[in-house]
Amino acid sequence: MSSTDQVHNQRIAGVRPMVSPALLRDELPLTDAGRAVVVQSRTAVTRVLDGADDRLLVVVGPCSVHDPAAGLEYARRLAALSAELSEDLCVVMRVYFEKPRTTLGWKGLINDPNLDGSFDVNHGLRAARALLLDILALGLPVGCEFLDPITPQYIADTVSWGSIGARTAQSQVHRQLCSGLSMPIGIKNSTEGDVQAAVDAVKAAASSHVFPGVTDDGLAAIFSTSGNPDCHVILRGSSAGPNYDRASVEHTLARLDSAGLPGRVIVDGSHGNSGKDHLRQPTVAADIAARLAAGERGVVGLMLESFLVPGRQELTLGEAASLTYGQSVTDACMGWDVTVSVLRDLAAAVASRRADSLSGAR
Ligand SMILES: O=C[C@H](O)[C@H](O)COP(=O)(O)O
Ligand SMILES: C=C(OP(=O)(O)O)C(=O)O
């Protein structure tokens, strides 16, 4: 595929046509009911972030979706649990289709939906959007990480909360992207533990930007954004250890204040905060629950990695048929039963904080 002119596309091995965002949305339209879920949940998440709603935001679900059927089964269970706990928790399902890799590895359902190195991106986009619509049909809002700057055009209308990962928080391309996204976005501290990088990203994303992008019809265009005031820091721990403790949260709130930004953070109970050990996520959640029950307010949300079956398994490309159903092929996840008790304990902590605050106000 490389050009014979010896200067152009010398390392491009192939170019294939890609469905346009408009065509995909036409094939798989957002229903009126789905739109209502997105609009209402974006407002609810924003109110939690602003402290206007005293519930805890809980972004919970698999590290990555590799099997839409298992993702949908998880969503059915979570929709019922979310309804049970809705007075105290604002639940968003983590539905991640794009995986940023430290070096190499499977990059997620959009990039390689057949899990075999065939990279059928058009099929990946269809599978991702179809699952998002199915989850919204259950009344459950979804949260995605945005990694490729073009992907949001295909799915962002279905997303109520977004994330920028630890490896891209310092990227200007991603900060610009956030400034134009229609939902609140959590931005993570770096893998080495640099929280200022996330604070700087929240500040940059709140501002307007002008940058190149792709239109609904797949044409290059220059986009102007108005800035996103609903971005916030996610403390995800680091290679140096956890950062969900009270002092780290206070330190982050002080940095946000110095930058003229609202004081709120989400804690990621996985990744550096649990050393990627799924058995430690409930310990993080229990610590946050105890602090909430004691009246702490800076932590407005918690992210948890959870799937039907606990732990993780190795993915060998081309051998998806031998995978255990409902178990992560990326980072280890809490299993469903543990997830239920963790979410119930978090809800009880929020209810207790509310009761204390009401009795204090009397
Ligand atoms: O959340 C997922 C992973 O931690 C992230 O994609 C990095 O994974 P890797 O270090 O296995 O590449
Ligand atoms: C990649 C992720 O996390 P981080 O960016 O914190 O490593 C994730 O949440 O899937």
- Residue 191 domain-assigned (yes or no): yes
Atom 2 in ligand 2: which residue has the minimum CA distance?
Answer: 165
The answer to whether the CB of 102 is under 6 A from ligand 1 is yes
Whether the pLDDT of residue 50 is over 70: the answer is yes
Between the CA of 199 and the centroid of ligand 1 the distance, in Å, is: 22
Number of domains within the chain? 1
Q: In the predicted model, what is the mean pLDDT of the chain?
A: 97
For the ranges 1-15, 17-31, 147-161, the lowest mean pLDDT is seen at 1-15
* 360, 352 contact by CB (below 8 A): no
Whole-number CA gyration radius for the chain: 20
Whether the pLDDT of residue 102 is over 90: the answer is yes
The answer to whether the CB of 96 is under 6 A from ligand 2 is yes
Q: Would you state the pLDDT for residue 4?
A: 85
Whether the pLDDT of residue 361 is over 80: the answer is no
- Residue 5 domain-assigned (yes or no): no
Index of the ligand 2 atom closest to the CA of residue 166: 5
- Residue 67 domain-assigned (yes or no): yes
- Residue 9 domain-assigned (yes or no): no
Whether the pLDDT of residue 173 is over 90: the answer is yes
Measured CA distances, 84 to 88, 161, 344 (Å):
9, 21, 9
- Residue 173 domain-assigned (yes or no): yes
Angle (CA) 94 98 102, round 5°: 110
- Residue 10 domain-assigned (yes or no): no
Atom 5 in ligand 2: which residue has the minimum CA distance?
Answer: 165
pLDDT digits (tens, 9 = 90+) for 246-267: 999 999 999 999 999 999 999 9
Measured CA distances, 49 to 56, 167, 183, 257, 266 (Å):
9, 23, 12, 15, 9
Mean pLDDT over residues 103-124, rounded? 98
User: What residues make up the domain containing 70?
Assistant: 18-312+327-360
CB atoms closer than 10 angstroms to residue 170: 18
The answer to whether the CB of 298 is under 6 A from ligand 2 is no
- Residue 41 domain-assigned (yes or no): yes
- Residue 272 domain-assigned (yes or no): yes
Please give the model's pTM, rounded to 2 decimal places.
Answer: 0.97
CATH code of the domain in which 66 resides: 3.20.20.70
